[in-house]
Structure 1
Amino acid sequence: MVSLFRRLTTPAAPVIQRDTVRLRLDDAEIDVLRVRDPRARRLKLSVDERGARLTMPLRASLVSGERFLQANRQWLQQQLARLGGDGLLAPALQLREPGVLPLRGELLPVQWQEGRFTRIEVDAGGVNIQLPARAGEPALRRALREFYEVQVRADVGQWLPRYLPGLSRAPSRLRPKVMSSQWGSLAPDGSMALDLALVLARPSAFEYVLVHELCHLLQANHSPAFWAEVEARFPAWRDERDYLREEGRRLKSTLHQLLRAQG
C-alpha cells in the first residue's frame, strides 16, 4: 500500500522535448535541433556530424534561445564549415540533380530514372537511382539507407568465410546501423553491429573493422592477446586504424548528410 501511494504521489520525471528551429547563416539556412533538457543548467550550442544542437534548460524562454543562436552565428558557421564543405567526401546529393554517391572509397556518378518503384543499383557506369515521379526527399533517404545496408551485408558476406576458421563461433546476427563514434561492437549474445559509414570507406578499412570485431569473439577486451589475434588475421591493421582516425569524421559526416531525413 505504501509503495502504491508513493507511485501515485511521486511526480513524473520531466520529459526531454525536441523540435527544430530555422537559422539563417551568411550563405545558407540550416535547421538547428532545439532540445529542452531537465538536466541542463545553461544554454549550450554544439555541432557534430549530425548537425547543430541547441540545449536549453526547461525554464529558458524561446526568445532567450533565439538570441543565443544569433549571438553565436559566427561560431556556428565556422564549426559547420569545418565539419561540412571540405569535411565531406562529396557535395550533398540533391534530389534528381547531377551528383556523385560515395561507395567503397570511390565517388560514383549518379543517374536518375523515373519508375514505378524506388530502386538503387550499381553498374559499370555508376549508380542508377530510380524513383516514382511523386517521390520526395524522405523516399530518397530511406532508399539510400536500405542501399547502404545491402552493401554492408554484401561485403561482410564476401569476407566472413575467410575468417571463420579458428573462431570459437560465428556472429549470431549482423546489424548495420548509424553509429556516432564507434565503428563496430559485439554484444554478449554474439550479435555484431557495424557502422553504415564503413561502406563509404576504402574496403580494406572496412575489412579491418570486421576482423577487429570477430576477434572479440576470442578476446572480449583490448589486451595484448586480443591484438595478437588481430595481427595474425590482418597484419596491416595499423594502416587501416590510422586511415579511420584520419578520415573517420569525414566518413561519418558524409553518411549523416546523405541520410539526414532519417535521423
Structure 2
Amino acid sequence: MAYNNGQTMTLNGPGGHKIKVRLEVNSKARRLILRLDERRREAVAIAPTRRQIKDAAAFAAERVDWISSRLQHLPEIVSFEEGSIISYRGKPCRLTAEGDGRLARMIPGDIPTLCAPGDPETLDQRALRYLKKQARADITRAVKRHAATLGVEYKGISVKDTRSRWGSCTADGQLSFSWRLIMAPADVLDYVAAHECAHLLEMNHSPRFWAHVATCCPDWKRLRAWLRTHGMELQAAGT
C-alpha cells in the first residue's frame, strides 16, 4: 500500500475501536518518531524522508496498543464556552459572555471570571483574543528580564498555537512561544522564557545551556517537570 505525507490511516485498536494515525515527513527527524496530537486525539507517525513513510506506518501499527492506552488517558477537552472553567496563570477561571461593555476583562472572586461580553456563540474567539494578549504581555516581560540577565539581544517575539513546542528560538534571534503558557503557573511561563533566552547563547541543550537557564531560573527542573506532567491539559483547552 502506498502512503503519502499528511495522509491519515486508521488502525484497529484493542476492542476493535478505530485509531487514527497521521503520517508526516520531517527532514529534521533523525529516526522514526511516534507522538500524540492531543488536540486532534490522534497519533502522528513521523518519518525522516518520504521513502520511509511506509516504515513509519508500520512503526505505528506495531505500537497500536501503546497509542490506544495513551489516547485513553488524555485529559478531557475543555471548550471555551459559557460557564467553562479553564486555567489562567495556574488557577481556575470561569468564562462568561454576560456583562456590560465590549471589552473582555477579568473579574476578581473566589474563582475569577473572564467576562467577554457579546454573542455566546463567539465567546471562544473573544476569550482566545484576551488570553493571547495576556500571554504576549507576560512573555514579553519575562523575555526582557532574562535577556538582560544573560546580556543577550533578541530580534522579536511571536505568540502562536504550537502543538509540539512551548517555545523556540531561531539562529537570527526570533523567539516564538505558545499562547497556552498563560494557562500555566506564572513561574512555568517564566521558565520557558528563560529556556528560549538561553538558546540565544547556546543553540543546543549542553551543560553550558542549562547553566544559563539556571542563572535565570534556578528551579528549572521542577518547572520543566510540571510542564511535562500537565502540558496535555493545556493542549486540551479551547480545542
TM-score, normalised relative to structure 1: 0.62
Q: How does 1:14-33 map to 2 (within 5 A)?
A: none
Q: How does 1:28-107 map to 2 (within 5 A)?
A: 48-53=37-42, 80-85=71-76, 92-93=78-79, 95-96=81-82, 98-107=83-92
**Where does structure 2 lack aligned partners over 5 or more consecutive residues?**
9-18, 25-34, 45-63
Distance of aligned partners of 1:242 and 1:175 in 2 relative to their CA distance in 1, 3 Å threshold? same
RMSD: 3.9
Q: Is the 1:208–1:240 Cα contact (8 Å) retained in structure 2?
A: yes
What's the % identity of the aligned pairs? 25
Aligned to 1:124: 108
Q: What is the identity, as a one-letter code, of the residue corresponding to 2:74?
A: L
Cα deviation, residue 49, structure 1: 1.0
Aligned to 1:231: 214
Count matched residues. 201
Of 140, 147, 155, the residue aligned with 2:138 is: 155
For the residues of structure 2 that align with 1:205 and 1:16, how far apart are their CA atoms? 33
Distance of aligned partners of 1:116 and 1:216 in 2 relative to their CA distance in 1, 3 Å threshold? same
Aligned to 1:4: none
Q: How does 1:111-260 map to 2 (within 5 A)?
A: 111-113=96-98, 117=102, 119-125=103-109, 126-133=112-119, 136=121, 139-252=122-235, 254=236, 257-258=237-238, 260=239
For the residues of structure 2 that align with 1:185 and 1:16, how far apart are their CA atoms? 23
Q: Is the 1:168–1:217 Cα contact (8 Å) retained in structure 2?
A: no
Secondary structure of 2:104's match?
Answer: strand
Who wins on radius of gyration, i.e. which is larger?
1
Distance of aligned partners of 1:95 and 1:239 in 2 relative to their CA distance in 1, 3 Å threshold? closer
**Where does structure 1 lack aligned partners over 5 or more consecutive residues?**
1-13, 19-31, 38-45, 56-71, 86-90
Q: Is the 1:120–1:127 Cα contact (8 Å) retained in structure 2?
A: no
Q: Deviations over 1:105-156 (max 9, x none)?
A: 1111334316674x431131322333434x52xx333223222211112212
Cα deviation, residue 16, structure 1: 5.9
For the residues of structure 1 that align with 2:5 and 2:196, how far apart are their CA atoms? 36
Secondary structure of 2:154's match?
Answer: coil
Q: Is the 1:168–1:218 Cα contact (8 Å) retained in structure 2?
A: no
For the residues of structure 1 that align with 2:213 and 2:36, how far apart are their CA atoms? 34
Q: Deviations over 1:196-238 (max 9, x none)?
A: 2211111111101100100111112211211111122211111
Q: Is the 2:81–2:124 Cα contact (8 Å) retained in structure 1?
A: no
Q: What is the identity, as a one-letter code, of the residue corresponding to 1:83?
A: L
Distance of aligned partners of 1:48 and 1:132 in 2 relative to their CA distance in 1, 3 Å threshold? same
For the residues of structure 2 that align with 1:167 and 1:132, how far apart are their CA atoms? 44
Aligned to 1:61: none
TM-score, normalised relative to structure 2: 0.67
For the residues of structure 2 that align with 1:191 and 1:216, how far apart are their CA atoms? 11
For the residues of structure 2 that align with 1:161 and 1:208, how far apart are their CA atoms? 13
Distance of aligned partners of 1:236 and 1:113 in 2 relative to their CA distance in 1, 3 Å threshold? same
Q: What is the identity, as a one-letter code, of the residue corresponding to 1:182?
A: R
